[in-house]
A and B are shown apart, each in its own frame.
Chain A
């Protein structure tokens, strides 16, 4: 493990812990942006450039902004009075430890895991593009269809229901 990876990992985990422990939701969202950036940095250290940049583009540039906007449009600025530690936190810890153990066990015993570190495969953007356009064309198309449907749905929700009952006081 390189020192750079350790630093990035510590920053990422600390930021993730901050997301859970802060009271102010906007601060949480900003801390989450740091977490996303940390994950992107880890991808870059694994020389997975495309994934790393896509992580920044999608998560920092879009998802974080979306979360922040959702908070801003739905809640007032005051942070809640209650502590972040609610009554059920003991049970929560037990559940999370169990889930982590199960996941770790599954990962360590999975058949596909190489026992020794192998040379990283040369993954260029071209490879990813060819894979998306060749082998994985059907999933890509389905994702595109789902997203288009979601967008049309959003447009329909945002549309005015009846232009005649426009209450802006202006006659069209």
Chain B
């Protein structure tokens, strides 16, 4: 019984080894890398297409609509609840005319979607999808992830600048300002985990969370600093992946989809794909850092294969992303910046202090009280500071006489 579950858990790893054994010995690393890459290139775009349907259906339900529920298997009456919708969506995108503005910088305009997608796909190289399922286990894996994420900004700038369009450039400026501002709380909230675990290796970070007390997993999110860190990380990752309420760079009502105003057809599809893959990657990192990666939340469910836990958590996080998108309106630029610099950054710094206290205090209930108090107190105080001077309530409109 136990053997069977272990085999199921390691099925992809074993299949990989089996496939690699067909090629001659010196080619083993190359073949293994190729197979891993094709695994990522197959699984995550497929996941993306399913998630777009989930998003459309979910938002539909939240707005009391059905959402797409028609497209199923062609020439039959089977509708699959509309889950075939991504095929015509994709076909539509790919068959559309590819328009390049006459004044555009042709080469940069062409390269921008590619430059967008490459770092996003590279980021998957370090994510542990399951037990022993990491492509490359870098010593500084976390740093790799953030470094690669920084390159996305360049792609956004290239897209915005090369289009020769006011809206594109405004969108790119907004995007870069936002990404740089939110990268700081993102990285600082991840630093707490590195401090407590003592490693930048993502596999080590999961291993540090993979033990149970009273049958409940010891994930980082179940500590005061981890909860605050996860919240900060989650909010910053919303901003990093340009999701509502931080979707100012692509605000369609203000600047007509921002930096991809001038993109159509396949290039737009690449941007769209890149954005969603970036969202999955950063959610995957959040899961790894705070939600125990591929580990199970309770000890009696550890027999479920590790990759299933990873994808369950990923889908849950993505669902919360969608839920937030359907709930909150878009922020204003000054609100966005105030929130990043006056609330998230100080809170992230305090959280580092809290994590330090947690690390050095004795393992008993006292550290829980001290750390929880610090976290709640700083949250309330900083929250008040952020809200001060803001007139919230009913708005008074002034009309022309």
Pick the residue among A27, A53, A64, A65 that contacts B108 (CB under 8 A): A27
Interface readout for B150-181 with A: 1 if CB under 8 Å, 0 if not? 11011001100100100001000100100010
Distance to closest chain B CB from A103 (angstroms): 29
Pick the residue among B138, B153, B161 that contacts A26 (CB under 8 A): B161
A61 interface hit (Cβ, 8 Å):
yes
Interface readout for B186-218 with A: 1 if CB under 8 Å, 0 if not? 000000000000111000000000000000000
Do B140 and A53 touch across chains, with their CB atoms under 8 A apart?
yes
Pick the residue among B108, B138, B150, B198 that contacts A56 (CB under 8 A): B150
B139 interface hit (Cβ, 8 Å):
yes
Do B150 and A62 touch across chains, with their CB atoms under 8 A apart?
yes
Interface readout for A63-91 with B: 1 if CB under 8 Å, 0 if not? 01100110010000100000000000000
A15 interface hit (Cβ, 8 Å):
no
A50 interface hit (Cβ, 8 Å):
yes
Residues of A within 8 A of B146 (CB): 57
Do B147 and A57 touch across chains, with their CB atoms under 8 A apart?
yes
Do B150 and A60 touch across chains, with their CB atoms under 8 A apart?
yes
Do A56 and B180 touch across chains, with their CB atoms under 8 A apart?
no
Do A60 and B158 touch across chains, with their CB atoms under 8 A apart?
no
Pick the residue among A37, A57, A69 that contacts B143 (CB under 8 A): A57
Do A49 and B154 touch across chains, with their CB atoms under 8 A apart?
no
Main SS of chain B's interface residues? helix
A4 interface hit (Cβ, 8 Å):
no
Do B154 and A65 touch across chains, with their CB atoms under 8 A apart?
yes
Distance to closest chain A CB from B191 (angstroms): 12
Do B139 and A125 touch across chains, with their CB atoms under 8 A apart?
yes
A54 to B157, CA, bound (A): 21
Distance to closest chain B CB from A73 (angstroms): 9
B272 interface hit (Cβ, 8 Å):
no
The residues in B between 97 and 151 inclusive whose CB is less than 8 angstroms from any CB of A are: 105, 108, 138-140, 143-144, 146-151
A53 to B199, CA, bound (A): 15
- How many chain B residues touch A (CB < 8 A): the figure is 27
Main SS of chain A's interface residues? helix
A70 to B139, CA, bound (A): 35
A33 to B157, CA, bound (A): 12
Q: When A33-B154, A49-B138 are in contact, do A65 and B180 touch as well, CB less than 8 Å?
A: yes
Do A68 and B147 touch across chains, with their CB atoms under 8 A apart?
no
Residues of B within 8 A of A72 (CB): 161, 169, 173
A21 interface hit (Cβ, 8 Å):
no
Residues of B within 8 A of A27 (CB): 105, 108
Distance to closest chain B CB from A92 (angstroms): 28
Pick the residue among A64, A69, A124 that contacts B139 (CB under 8 A): A124
Residues of A within 8 A of B140 (CB): 49-50, 53, 125
Closest to B177 in A: A69
Distance to closest chain A CB from B299 (angstroms): 31
A30 to B144, CA, bound (A): 21
Q: When A30-B154, A33-B154, A65-B154 are in contact, do A56 and B161 touch as well, CB less than 8 Å?
A: no
Residues of B within 8 A of A125 (CB): 139-140, 143, 199-200
A83 to B140, CA, bound (A): 44
Interface readout for B78-113 with A: 1 if CB under 8 Å, 0 if not? 000000000000000000000000000100100000
A27 to B106, CA, bound (A): 12
A22 to B153, CA, bound (A): 22
A124 to B173, CA, bound (A): 37
A130 to B153, CA, bound (A): 31
Distance to closest chain B CB from A114 (angstroms): 24
Distance to closest chain B CB from A132 (angstroms): 14
Residues of B within 8 A of A124 (CB): 139
Residues of B within 8 A of A61 (CB): 147, 149-151, 153-154, 183
Closest to B160 in A: A72
A-B contact pairs, 11 of them (CB 8 A): A30-B158, A49-B140, A49-B144, A50-B140, A57-B146, A60-B151, A61-B147, A61-B149, A65-B153, A77-B164, A125-B199
- Interface on A for B, CB 8 Å cutoff? 24, 26-27, 30, 33, 37, 49-50, 53-54, 56-57, 60-62, 64-65, 68-69, 72, 77, 124-126
A57-B147, A60-B151, A125-B200 known; 12 new pairs, CB 8 Å cut-off, are A26-B108, A30-B154, A33-B154, A49-B139, A56-B150, A56-B151, A57-B146, A60-B147, A60-B154, A61-B154, A65-B176, A126-B198
Closest 3 CB pairs of A and B: A61-B150, A57-B147, A56-B147
